[in-house]
Structure 1
């Protein structure tokens, strides 16, 4: 007959089994873009620490396509149990519904916002074959020949596209927009001189600037980036006064996430972003971390209002 200590040990092991099984469930962190981009990089930086805070393994799941909306659709359709999350960006969460009224997913209505992670500027660049090295030279040259020059982005309705149209709106310049299927073909055409100008997310474009393959003309946030203080803010120029736009990242769950799950995930995200190693890696990648008190839902609504004005100006439709 087992003694009392054996019985207690057996009971304790039995009671602990559900907790162990629960902790063994992984969390899918969906990224609506291919590996290697800024969104994927952000997910891979926060994923391990977020998993540690949740007591689970976080698995990055790349569901690329349709400007991030395929990944968003997957999360919107998932059970609201905290096991499927989205590393979302302004492309699919705030812009897509503005340019496609029939969109199957709405970044505001179909998700539970968990927290804003951070942002990084975009930058306007020139092919070295154009002979433009400064913002003043760019403005003067494009003004002399309306419609002659083109700029490229990673696709219609992306933040990069809207940033290019904002430059046109503020400066009164006319350039033709060329949408690309991602950053790689855009980069190839800029380097090859097929395309005159382009818009990059800072972290994606900076290596090409540093190597001298493209010329940086300015960044889209008012303050210079700490990792590229030599690139002037576009908004500091008199013709682009106050121009301020960023590519941002946030964490989302499906709509109707239970309050207990919401609180747990929000706390885990706050603790993750407070971890020194995570902060260091995000900042080295060009990100400015968000204020932990930021209300992501309110932020998204204000962003959508800002984007709506640009979409209307440029008559962007998908």
Structure 2
């Protein structure tokens, strides 16, 4: 009789243990709520109101609508976007900290800035191209050049006399200027600025001869006749400034193309299912005319969201590496 009681007790203990094991194995799945279950933070390495910030706010609205989530923008300007990117690569890969970055910190700056400790290709999970961002070569009010033909002729007659400004060493604007010099066979002194506000101001005021600037930032001054647009860096003309030629239309710069871009990324190791949700939301949003118009108004050309961002990053890095050697760039 004692034997039967002991056996029954053993069976009960075994069943209890099995039940506990089943519950324990189910707990992680029960605790893990479907993504997203809390606010998503988008880190932006530039000040509010700039072109990257404007693109980030479009992305935030897309993710809010498509993922039914709260999305907040966290502006962390500094070092041409590098500080923000570093914060993102150091964050958990759970889909709640994302980066809307530019071609600066996602392709260019690591080639010239030894302080950049991350590798964009290894330390980020690319989620999608948001928009392309062509820039523009413009002349200040004191320069006797009103076209690319006159620009090239002027610089060839006066090698080393003229200067151009960009938003900093290793920025997309800097690379665009050096590619002009390389292709046209001209020389200009590069003057780096910390951002685009002071750059545009000095160009308008005549302190700079030429500058690589944002078409959107330059548009009011072009309209007022205070600066002269010479050409945009995209393969085709910019939709909101159709009167300004693409630089590649000129024989001296035939085939010229160098555009910046904005993209969405996450830390490395992002779970595939979360990445798929975010990519799907971005692509769906970028297909809608309302979001496309907002990107165009912010000075960029909307992407489709399904481009091979990793390939774009690799190709741009190779192009920029050649220009680093040509210009002997150093931070």
- What TM-score comes out, normalization by structure 2 length? 0.87
Give the corresponding residue for 1:285.
298
SS in 2 for 1:108: helix
| 1:305 maps onto 2:318 in alignment | yes
Does the CA contact (< 8 Å) of 1:38 and 1:204 recur in 2?
Answer: no
Cα distance per residue 1:87-139 (max 9 Å; x no partner) = 01110110111113552122111100000111021100010122321111111
Give the corresponding residue for 2:165.
152
- Cα distance in 2 for partners of 1:241, 1:298 equals 24
1:267 counterpart (275, 280, 292): 280
SS in 2 for 1:293: coil
- Cα distance in 1 for partners of 2:35, 2:309 equals 28
- Cα distance in 2 for partners of 1:97, 1:219 equals 25
| 1:139 maps onto 2:152 in alignment | yes
- Cα distance in 1 for partners of 2:288, 2:234 equals 25
Structure 2 gaps, min length 5: 1-29
Cα distance per residue 1:158-213 (max 9 Å; x no partner) = 00000000000001111100000111111121111111100012222222222222
1:61-100 matched pairs, under 5 angstroms:
61-100=74-113
Does the CA contact (< 8 Å) of 2:46 and 2:53 recur in 1?
Answer: yes
2:262 counterpart (249, 256, 270): 249
Does the CA contact (< 8 Å) of 1:76 and 1:255 recur in 2?
Answer: yes
1:73-222 matched pairs, under 5 angstroms:
73-101=86-114, 103-222=116-235
Does the CA contact (< 8 Å) of 1:153 and 1:179 recur in 2?
Answer: yes
SS in 2 for 1:109: helix
- What TM-score comes out, normalization by structure 1 length? 0.90
Matched pairs, number: 302
Structure 1 gaps, min length 5: 1-16
User: Structure 1 residue 34: deviation in Å?
Assistant: 0.8
1:59 counterpart (72, 80, 101): 72
User: Structure 1 residue 19: deviation in Å?
Assistant: 9.4
Give the corresponding residue for 1:14.
none
SS in 1 for 2:180: helix
- Please tell me the root mean square deviation across aligned C-alpha atoms, in Å: 1.8
- Cα distance in 1 for partners of 2:128, 2:293 equals 19
- Cα distance in 2 for partners of 1:162, 1:21 equals 43
* Higher Cα Rg, which structure: 2
